[in-house]
Homo-oligomer: A and B are copies of this chain.
Amino acid sequence: MKKIRDLVVDEDFQGFVLIKTADVRIAKNGKTFIAFTFQDNSGSIDGKFWDASNDEIQRFEVGRVVHLTGKREVYQGNPQVKIYKLRLTNPEEPNDPSLFMERAPVKKEAMEEDINQTIFEIINPHWNRIVRFLLNKYKKEFFEYPAAKKNHHAFAGGLAYHTTTMLHLGKSLVNEYPQLDASLLYAGVILHDLGKVIELSGAMATEYTVVGNLVGHLVLVDEEITKACLALKIDESTEDIVVLRHMVLAHHGQLDYGSPVRPRIMEAEILHQIDNIDASMQMLNNAISKTEPGEYTERIFGMDNRSFYVPKNVE
């Protein structure tokens, strides 16, 4: 069966997809419809289901795998599916939602290996123990969660993928600028977004939790470091613990972006800058992959709403 990303305009198709979002709305003519986003591991597409009955509203809920028959169209410049038929799957048909989620392009095992190798390079024993303690505590979530609800790395495994890519950048910088404290930078990279496993609800139908909204992932991971110190009997007031907490609290770079303190040590500034680069590259890739050469991307919210131009082949 064809993947969503491969469908061309006006192509009829059928196959299994995951319901990613399902908003019930009332049309101008007073009829009820469901605005769906369907997903497989190649991408996602919107589609409207007209004249939905109460029964259908309850049947087609978020997280269900369904069988969809339809036609790929375009609506206001965006792909959409005209739904011919929609039904739940039969018992013998595919129905594991996790098979239909978008995923990081690197295998979990490779990322785990990457992380583990890096931990060997964290020489300071406090940082080393705290990183291992917290990765152990949240291991399952760390490799499963996205790095965001939308914007960059908003797919299963996105958090670990973002983290390992940043480690690669971090190692290049340590190479170029030997005065950087590599242990501190790597510990900071691994922990910086770990609070997202508490801030977000999970990989499917991702939402912000209440504590995510009211406390935020920067302070959540800072609290985790503090509690890890208690558990590991490390004095949290020693300078190495203070600077590690600073790393995670300052990584958004600006007060305006939710850091309670701006970076005030060199490695915190660099952590912020490589976070920026990887987020930008991920958002740009995503937008450019949906754009033809010679055209402009849609506006990218996380990059000050700029639209980028994709040059024609210029080599």
Q: What is the interface of chain A, defined by CB distance below 8 A to chain B?
A: 25-30, 50, 73-76, 82, 123-124, 165, 168-169, 172-173, 175-177, 179, 181, 183-184, 210-211, 213-216, 218-219, 222-223, 226-227, 230, 236-237, 239-240, 242-243, 245-246, 249-250, 255-266, 269-270, 273, 276-277, 280-281, 284-285, 288, 296, 303-304, 306-312, 314-315
A249 and B215 form a contact (CB under 8 A): yes
In the complex, chain B residues whose CB is within 8 Å of the CB of A276: 273
In the complex, chain B residues whose CB is within 8 Å of the CB of A240: 311, 314
Return the contact of A255 from the options B181, B258, B277, B288 (Cβ within 8 A). B258
Q: What CA separation (Å) do A240 and B213 show in the bound complex?
A: 14
A266 and B237 form a contact (CB under 8 A): no
Return the contact of A210 from the options B213, B242, B288 (Cβ within 8 A). B242
Q: Report 14 cross-chain contacts, Cβ distance below 8 Å, ordered by A residue.
A: A26-B76, A169-B173, A177-B281, A214-B245, A215-B222, A215-B246, A215-B249, A215-B261, A222-B222, A223-B226, A227-B227, A230-B230, A266-B308, A273-B280
Closest residue of B by beta carbon distance from A284: B266
A75 and B26 form a contact (CB under 8 A): yes
A168 and B176 form a contact (CB under 8 A): yes
Return the contact of A242 from the options B74, B169, B184, B215 (Cβ within 8 A). B215
Q: In the complex where A222-B223, A264-B306, A273-B273 touch, is A30 in contact with B82 (Cβ < 8 A)?
A: yes
Q: What CA separation (Å) do A311 and B240 show in the bound complex?
A: 8
In the complex, chain B residues whose CB is within 8 Å of the CB of A246: 214-215
A256 and B258 form a contact (CB under 8 A): no
A260 and B311 form a contact (CB under 8 A): no
Q: How far is the CB of A273 from chain B (nearest CB, A)?
A: 5
In the complex, chain B residues whose CB is within 8 Å of the CB of A26: 73-76
In the complex, chain B residues whose CB is within 8 Å of the CB of A265: 214, 308-311
In the complex, chain B residues whose CB is within 8 Å of the CB of A82: 30
A264 and B179 form a contact (CB under 8 A): no
Q: What CA separation (Å) do A264 and B176 show in the bound complex?
A: 28
Q: What CA separation (Å) do A13 and B305 show in the bound complex?
A: 43
Task: Give 19 A-B pairs besides A26-B75, A210-B242, A215-B261 with Cβ atoms closer than 8 angstroms.
Answer: A26-B74, A26-B76, A123-B315, A179-B288, A213-B261, A214-B245, A214-B265, A215-B222, A215-B245, A218-B260, A223-B223, A226-B226, A239-B312, A256-B256, A260-B260, A262-B304, A264-B307, A270-B281, A273-B280
Q: What CA separation (Å) do A233 and B273 show in the bound complex?
A: 39
